[in-house]
Amino acid sequence: MSFRAIRILSLLILLAAAAGMTYWEGMVVRNWLRPLEVTIYPVNGDGTAEVDEYIAGLKQEHFQEIGSFIASQYERYRGKALPPVNIRLAREIKTLPPMPPDGRPSALSAIRWSLGLRYYTYKHTPFWGSLGTVRLFVVYHRGEDGKALQHSLGLHKGLVGVVHAFAQARQNAQNNVVITHELFHALGASDKYDAANQPLYPEGFGERGDGPHYPQRTAEIMAGRIAIAPDEARIPVGLEACVVGYKTAWEINW
């Protein structure tokens, strides 16, 4: 067998192994066969001392309400307690994750970015210790009032997400809403809002009763906003104002 043939065969074996590992991870996590493992890796998105100071003050307890939210919503649908949701805060990563392509990317640029993110994940997280774990890179920014951060992304294949959040203690509760939203993307859930960021009816509404649709009191986690009127929605103050809707529950195999 020629050297070139050996290289091609080796590459095919690696690709098959990676595909098999991805499938196994997805099956184990999506079927809730064991406690959900989530690791949060903070990243300084601005490269400033201010954000470094904020990250240094982060504690694992700041994210535990995410696990409590998932457990309470699981019990609503399954009628039984969920195995523990283990959320761990890891070390700060000093390198920014790859930026997604702007606008409407081509299939090739989207694939290239996805592969880049997978390589970034492989490089900055332990391989064996991360199997079956959802890895979320939370990129913190100082932020400006009235200015939105970059769009966050969660990928089902690979169980990985990139979250852009504010490095401000008063934003911790809303940061956890965004982190949970991207975590659910990694678990297989889809967005439930339209191009104007308005929650879609009925799957994006927290309350789907027969009464008036507006104003809503809660946000469906994958809509990310509370529908106040057909053209108005507000960001929930925290996870206590969020629920998991029926379609999202079905998508994540509840």
pLDDT at 106: 74
Question: Regarding predicted confidence, which is higher, 67 or 78?
Answer: 67
pLDDT at 103: 63
218-253, pLDDT tens digit by residue?
999 999 999 999 999 999 999 999 999 999 999 999
Please give the average per-residue pLDDT across 55-73, as a whole number. 96
**Out of 2.60.40, 3.40.390, 1.10.3470, 1.10.20, which CATH number does the structure's domain 20-188 have?**
3.40.390
Question: Regarding predicted confidence, which is higher, 38 or 126?
Answer: 38
**Cα–Cα distance for residue pair 82/67, rounded to 1 Å:** 10
For the chain, give every domain's residue range. Answer: 20-188, 191-254
pLDDT at 229: 95
Which residues, in sequence order, are bridge partners of residue 135?
Answer: 39, 160
Please give the average per-residue pLDDT across 5-33, as a whole number. 66
180-215, pLDDT tens digit by residue?
999 999 999 999 999 999 999 999 999 977 667 899
Average pLDDT, the chain: 87
93-121, pLDDT tens digit by residue?
999 999 887 766 677 777 788 888 888 99
Q: Name the token pair of 11.
A: 């590459």
Please give the average per-residue pLDDT across 157-179, as a whole number. 93
pLDDT above 60 (res 15): no
pLDDT at 81: 86
Ramachandran category for residue 104: left, alpha or beta (phi over 0 → left; psi -120 to 50 → alpha): beta
Exposure string (b/e) for 124-145, b if CB count within 10 Å is 16 or more? bbeeeebebbbbbbbbbbebee
134 band by pLDDT with thresholds 50, 70 and 90: very high
DSSP for 46-99? S--HHHHHHHHT--GGGGHHHHHHHHHHHHHHHSSPPPPEEEEE-PPB-SPPPP
